[in-house]
Amino acid sequence: MNYNKINLEDFSYQLPEEKIAQFPLDKRDDSKLLVYVKGDIAHSQFFKLHYFLHPDTLLIFNDTKVIPARLFFQKKTGAWIEIFLIEPTQPHWVHQAMQSNEQVEWKCMIGNKKKWKNDEILDRKFTDKEKEITLKVELLDKDSQNIKLSWDDSAYNFADILKLFGELPLPPYLNREVQEKDKEQYQTVYSNDKKEGAVAAPTAGLHFTEDIFAHLEKKGVKKDFITLHVSGGTFQPIKVKKVQDHKMHSEEIIFSKQNIENLLQNPTHIVAVGTTSMRSLESLYWFGVKLHFNLEENEKLTPIPFFIEKLYPYQVKDEYISLEESFRLILKYMKQFQLKQLIGETEIFIMPQYEFRVCKGLVTNFHMPNTTLILLVAAFVGKDWQEIYKEALENNYRFLSYGDSSLLIP
């Protein structure tokens, strides 16, 4: 792959501020739906999604739940320090960090960082059911913005603590305070209470309702739920001249054995709901490729970390294996090492010239220019992404997290 041929300016467009949806619709599935199928564009509404899907479609959803990832601490001087949690460092895995008692360490973004001294411990108190809980925060490393959070009651895990002290992290481009209805509308209806850990919503899923699911089931469309804990890096624009030098965010992904069996049963009509589901599914394939090489090298499967580096798919020069071969090898690996779940990380960078191995369709919102998400869409539909976005702008579609949706089938 010749990275130098990717010019970031080719993936920009003018997004007027008035096109950015500031608030969600009262009824989720009333949003507009742009339908792109093999070069043709049609306009519809999201509650008609089932009309456009093949009856054998398998929809893959990301069931992560957004955590109240914004924390505020006031110094004795009166100055406020804002902390936006990005990813845990101790424990390393999100699902473990959320269940931790007494303390955790996180990488974060710090607002008003200059006013926070290295040796200064900040604290807040909250009374819950007549019990006073004290939350303390210590700055471990100002440059890397690593912090330690600790609390004085081990009956509370970190998920409980965030519910008491945290605020919902709306996308920065909304530039407004959280309102009461955001607390419900910025979660998907299928978000799993046991899968808390995202610091941003998988927004393609915000349009789905129980009525939509009923229509899909009646048509024969199947659904399945995987987990990717969305990190704050999803909002980062590309600022480097060479796109391959962009620092991709790493995100935790979780697949069950049943997930992989379901994918194998219907490998020809897999449609990802959201870019997070797409990144997860494509990463799963590449883990199977890593197992393939591991088997060739060692003549037997040996334990390897599930981690897909951002440029790994472009660096594999050997002959690719099929989706079925990849997923069957993963099942064999899980059986051999008695794994009920496959937990890993991905920083996969999907950009033009990427060859999709799993996903045949994508449900997604309309994204910011000059971002990895636009590059992903362009990789999936080719240069037609420009026509899709032009159509959306001309037909008054609402953009970004609370905006309208699209169904893309190249």
Q: Where are the domains of the chain?
A: 3-65+187-409, 69-167
Q: Which residues contact 200 (CB under 8 A, 6 or more apart)?
A: 66, 169, 171, 230, 231, 232, 234, 235, 401
48-106, pLDDT tens digit by residue?
Answer: 999 999 999 999 999 999 999 999 999 989 999 999 999 999 999 999 999 999 999 99
404 pLDDT higher than 70:
yes
Q: What is the dihedral of CA 49, 52, 57, 62, to 10 degrees?
A: -30
Q: Which whole number is the average pLDDT over 349-358?
A: 95
Element of type H or E holding 196: strand 196-198
Parallel, antiparallel or unpaired: strands 270-273 and 196-198: unpaired
Average pLDDT over residues 9-26: 94
Question: Crossing angle of helices 257-265/323-336, nearest 10°?
Answer: 150
Q: What is the pTM of this model?
A: 0.94
Residues 111-135: pLDDT tens digits?
Answer: 998 899 888 899 999 998 888 999 9
Q: Which CATH superfamily is domain 3-65+187-409 in?
A: QueA-like (3.40.1780.10)
